[in-house]
Amino acid sequence: MDHTSLLEFARRMPKAELHVHLEGATRPETLLALAQRNGITLPFQDAQGLEDFYRFRDFDHFIEVYLTTTGCLRTASDYTFIANEFGKECARQNIRYAEVTFTIKTNMRITGLPWQTILEALNAGRALARVELGVHWQWVFDISRNNPEQQEDVTSIALQARPQGVVALGLGGSEADYPAHLFQESFARARQAGLYRVPHAGEHCGPQSIWDALNLLHAERIGHGVRCIEDPALMETLRQRRIPLEVCPSSNIRLKVYNDYAQHPLRRLWDAGLLVTVNSDDPPMFGIDLNHEYEALVTHFGFSAAELEQISLNALQASFLDESEKERMAAEFRQECAALRKELLL
């Protein structure tokens, strides 16, 4: 198969994404524009300094970037602006559907705005992206493990915000220091109310953390989950129960879960028959985008055009869209991929 054409296919094909953080997806240029309109001085002077500041160094630096980004948000219209920018980034990469994680409590604390105001503003940007760009997304509101005292609030907000496009409760932050059992009650509340559960697990901690996400939090998808590779029984459980994994290859390498693509287990998870999806996590912070991850599937993991298509369809299947919408989009994706393969002679 022609490598150049395959890379072009990877970039142009229709995609869906299930693991991306809105704050972490905000591009340096957007941050600069926000800082300018709000009169905020950033810890760098020019475009190059901005790029360097954004490039991930270690986890503390990651948090610093995250807080700097959130710290530039002041008004409701800033939220509409970042949602708009996010929509444009999706359109550029032909990402047609996404489930986007947003850490509502951190944003409320930093801006002092109530969640309703923030979400309404975000949804104004989301609505525009849907109408003008054909890009649709729904929200995952996540609890930060590092702030377990906020979990009740976050869960209540997520439940109340369902009519405004919140489909799931997430769980991010330090997996090692704040294990799943601390969040069991909140996830039980979400489950009782029929809100989906998508905790991060099996990224910085091993298989036990994934078992706990399944057994204690009743996770329907696992954020990352790559370290199930260390436990054959867990892999078999995930395979049998068709639990999707939100795999973010470059994120795992930048955050030093694996040294390089050669050591990353994505291909082995795929070959073992797990329901694998591929995602970007915090794209500009890792110097990537989703197109880059799909290209990496070709370059580093030897995926064919048919396999790339299946990865994208897996994301639709693993999404929380309703069944008729999934089918409609999957048919569209198949048709577009077929046309693209014909054009590129793949």
203 lies in the binding site for Zn ion (CB under 5 A) = no
Query: Is residue 17 a contact partner of residue 95, using CB atoms and an 8 Å limit?
Result: yes
Nearer to Zn ion, 85 or 175 (CB): 175
With 0-12 / 13-18 / 19 or more C-beta atoms within 10 angstroms meaning exposed / middle / buried, residue 37 is middle
**Residue 223 Cβ, how far from Zn ion at the closest point, in Å?**
6
Distance between CA atoms of residues 272 and 255, nearest Å: 25
99 lies in the binding site for Zn ion (CB under 5 A) = no
How many residues interact with Zn ion (rule CB under 5 A)?
Answer: 1
Distance between CA atoms of residues 15 and 185, nearest Å: 34
Query: Is residue 249 a contact partner of residue 278, using CB atoms and an 8 Å limit?
Result: yes
Nearer to Zn ion, 139 or 333 (CB): 139
Nearer to Zn ion, 78 or 281 (CB): 281
**Residue 34 Cβ, how far from Zn ion at the closest point, in Å?**
22
Taking CB atoms, the residue at the shortest distance from Zn ion is 281
* Those residues with Cβ within 8 angstroms of residue 302's Cβ, 6 or more apart along the chain or in another chain: 267
Rg of the chain, C-alpha, whole Å: 19
Nearer to Zn ion, 21 or 27 (CB): 21
266 phi and psi, to 5 degrees?
Answer: -50, -50
17 lies in the binding site for Zn ion (CB under 5 A) = no
Distance between CA atoms of residues 328 and 335, nearest Å: 11
**Residue 233 Cβ, how far from Zn ion at the closest point, in Å?**
25
83 phi and psi, to 5 degrees?
Answer: -70, -40
Sheet holding 166-172: strands in order across? 15-21, 95-102, 136-144, 166-172, 196-201, 222-224, 245-247, 276-278
Active site residue 203: yes
**Residue 19 Cβ, how far from Zn ion at the closest point, in Å?**
6
> Could you tell me which of 228, 148, 222, 150 has the C-alpha nearest to residue 181?
148
Which of 17, 89, 203, 220 does the annotation list as catalytic?
A: 203
Nearer to Zn ion, 157 or 255 (CB): 255
Query: What character string, x for contact with Zn ion (CB under 5 A) and - otherwise, covers 259-288?
Result: ----------------------x-------
212 lies in the binding site for Zn ion (CB under 5 A) = no
Site for Zn ion in 150-169 (CB under 5 A): none
**Residue 246 Cβ, how far from Zn ion at the closest point, in Å?**
8
89 lies in the binding site for Zn ion (CB under 5 A) = no
Q: Which active-site residues does the annotation give? A: 203
Which parts of this chain interact with Zn ion (CB under 5 A)?
281
